[in-house]
């Protein structure tokens, strides 16, 4: 997680002291532009009698590029580079989340109400009627964000603790977008049974379980077992959150290109967690011609089990009207492989299997990369809606309802709406609630 420009570059902040004369700031901007670096915010920090101090945010691709621009600015007359700040590190200092009280505690009387002796009456009420926990505790609004750190972002197996900043980011988005309390749970273990047992044991603390960044194929077993055993929703976001946003993207992409999604041959390149989640949801939506490829024979077998046809990369690119790539392999798709008129979603970040511009130049009718297909458009509303109706699980009807809603809120010429669209997450929540109630996903008391 970090502060990134649309290009995927990392934000740095330069604090510069500039001699206060006309054209000095322009010379700095021109020198930065010479290094092929984009400029973000420019802020006046301090105005002196002869010098000004400004902070300039720039987006660099590497530390080498940062050093080059610092060296170039250092030799300009009237310019002093005072400090360079890594904005990603700065925003992570101290962590991004915290647990805070929702009630004021200003007197001993307040303590007696929220703790002893007053709390005993509430405990006895819940003992007699367990459903009151949803009224008198935070359980109904808490989601466990569970990882073992084996498939973090594009980083792979880096361990649960190293993955904590990602889990904190998910929790922060939960809070900001739908007022859900996300609680990271780090399990430093490769054994699926250990993860299953751990989550099963802590499940009473939560209204839902969000599995995150657990590698395939273990993620499939973990989700299947927990979803069957627990009476609260369990969803692996890498599979299903991604699948929802991909379906939303395809609803709009096929509209732009004139294809009919259900009648199209859909090819999936990379049959790990994301690829399989996409395949499952497309099959549920009504796509009955899916072909796919993966280097792992076991992944191909799982794809065949959901109705897909395993084949080679060449066959996918030749025969599919719609291609979805989730491999993590930059430049895997060569320009000459692009079928004329096809739709291509090359979703690996930060570097796609083929750049959208190149795919379009090579004959695709529409192409996009993973920067515009963000599963944070889906998971907040999916969980908020499920929590609101006390769902026992998040089913395909709820996911499809979320995808349709997301697609509807895209602006003209957008594939999907912006993550911080002021209405989309509340609308997704409402759509998920309706679909959950209509499909019987609620908990009987």
Q: Is 370 helix (H, G, I), strand (E, B) or coil?
A: coil
- Per-residue pLDDT, 371: 84
- Per-residue pLDDT, 72: 94
Nearest to 94 by CA among 165, 43, 152: 165
Of 30, 61, 92, the residue at which a domain comes to its end is 92
CATH number, residue 268: 3.40.50.720
d(CA 440, CA 56): 54
Q: Which residue pairs, CB below 8 angstroms and at least 24 apart, start in 55-58?
A: 55/13, 55/14, 55/15, 55/16, 56/13, 56/14, 56/16, 56/28, 56/32, 57/11, 57/12, 57/13, 57/14, 57/87, 58/11, 58/12, 58/13, 58/14, 58/32
pLDDT averaged over consecutive 10-residue blocks of the chain (445 residues)? 47 94 93 94 93 95 93 93 94 95 95 96 97 96 98 92 98 98 98 98 98 98 98 97 97 92 97 97 97 97 97 98 96 97 92 95 94 91 98 98 97 91 97 97 75
Residue 255 is assigned to a structural domain of this protein: yes
- Per-residue pLDDT, 444: 66
Number of domains making up the chain? 3
Which residue out of 21, 34, 90, 115 is catalytically annotated? 115
| Same domain membership, residue 227 and residue 316 | no
b/e map of 334-366 (b: 16 or more CB within 10 Å)? eeebbbeebbbbbbbbeebbbbbebbbebebbb
**Is 309 assigned a catalytic role?**
no
Residue 322, token pair as written in the block: 């719609």
Residue 293 is assigned to a structural domain of this protein: yes
**Is 96 assigned a catalytic role?**
no
| Same domain membership, residue 86 and residue 211 | no
Q: Which domain holds residue 263?
A: 237-445
Residue 180's contacts (CB-CB under 8 Å, 6 or more residues apart) are 141, 142, 143, 174, 380, 383, 384, 387
Which residue out of 12, 96, 170, 280 is catalytically annotated? 170
Q: Is 233 helix (H, G, I), strand (E, B) or coil?
A: coil
Residue 104 is assigned to a structural domain of this protein: no
| Same domain membership, residue 273 and residue 220 | no
Residue 132 is assigned to a structural domain of this protein: no
Residue 318 is assigned to a structural domain of this protein: yes
- Per-residue pLDDT, 373: 86
Alpha helices in 118-272 (DSSP H): 119-128, 133-136, 164-178, 192-202, 218-229, 237-257
Residue 82 is assigned to a structural domain of this protein: yes
Of 57, 92, 127, the residue at which a domain comes to its end is 92
């Amino acid at each position: 997680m970090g502060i990134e420009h649309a290009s995927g570059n990392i934000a740095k902040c330069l604090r510069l002291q500039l001699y206060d004369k006309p054209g000095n700031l322009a010379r700095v901007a021109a020198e930065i532009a010479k290094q092929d670096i984009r400029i973000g915010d420019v802020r006046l920090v301090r105005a002196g009698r002869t010098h000004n101090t400004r902070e300039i945010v720039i987006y660099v691709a590497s530390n080498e590029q940062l050093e080059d621009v610092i060296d170039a600015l250092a030799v300009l007359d009237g310019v002093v580079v005072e400090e360079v700040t890594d904005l990603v590190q700065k925003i992570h200092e101290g962590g991004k989340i915290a647990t805070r009280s929702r009630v004021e505690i200003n007197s001993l009387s307040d303590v007696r109400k929220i703790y002893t002796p007053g709390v005993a009456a509430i405990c006895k009420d819940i003992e007699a009627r367990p459903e009151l926990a949803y009224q008198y505790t935070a359980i109904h609004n808490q989601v466990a964000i569970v990882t073992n750190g084996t498939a973090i972002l594009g980083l792979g197996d880096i361990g649960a603790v190293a993955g904590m900043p990602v889990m904190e980011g998910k929790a922060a988005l939960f809070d900001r977008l739908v007022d859900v309390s996300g609680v990271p749970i780090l399990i430093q273990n490769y054994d699926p049974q250990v993860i299953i047992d751990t989550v099963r044991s802590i499940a009473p603390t939560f209204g839902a379980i969000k599995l995150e960044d657990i590698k395939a194929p273990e993620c499939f077993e973990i989700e299947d077992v927990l979803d069957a055993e627990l009476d609260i929703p369990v969803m692996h976001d890498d599979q299903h959150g991604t699948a929802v946003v991909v379906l939303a993207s395809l609803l709009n992409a096929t509209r732009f290109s004139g294809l009919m999604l259900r009648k199209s041959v859909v090819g999936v390149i990379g049959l790990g967690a994301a690829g399989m989640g996409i395949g499952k949801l497309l099959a549920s939506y009504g796509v009955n011609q899916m072909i796919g490829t993966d280097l792992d024979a076991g992944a191909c077998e799982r794809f065949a089990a959901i109705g897909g046809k395993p084949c080679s990369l060449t066959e996918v690119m030749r025969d599919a009207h719609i291609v979805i790539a989730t491999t993590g392999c930059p430049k895997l798709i060569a320009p000459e492989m692009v079928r004329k008129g096809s739709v291509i979603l090359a979703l690996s970040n930060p570097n796609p299997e083929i750049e959208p511009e190149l795919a379009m130049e090579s004959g695709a009718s529409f192409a996009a990369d993973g920067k515009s297909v963000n599963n944070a458009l889906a998971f907040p509303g999916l969980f908020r809606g499920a929590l609101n109706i006390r769902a026992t699980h998040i089913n395909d009807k709820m996911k499809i309802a979320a995808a349709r809603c997301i697609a509807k809120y895209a602006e003209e010429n957008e594939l999907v709406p912006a993550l911080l669209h002021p209405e989309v997450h509340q609308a997704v929540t409402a759509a998920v609630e309706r679909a959950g109630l209509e499909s019987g996903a609620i908990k009987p008391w």
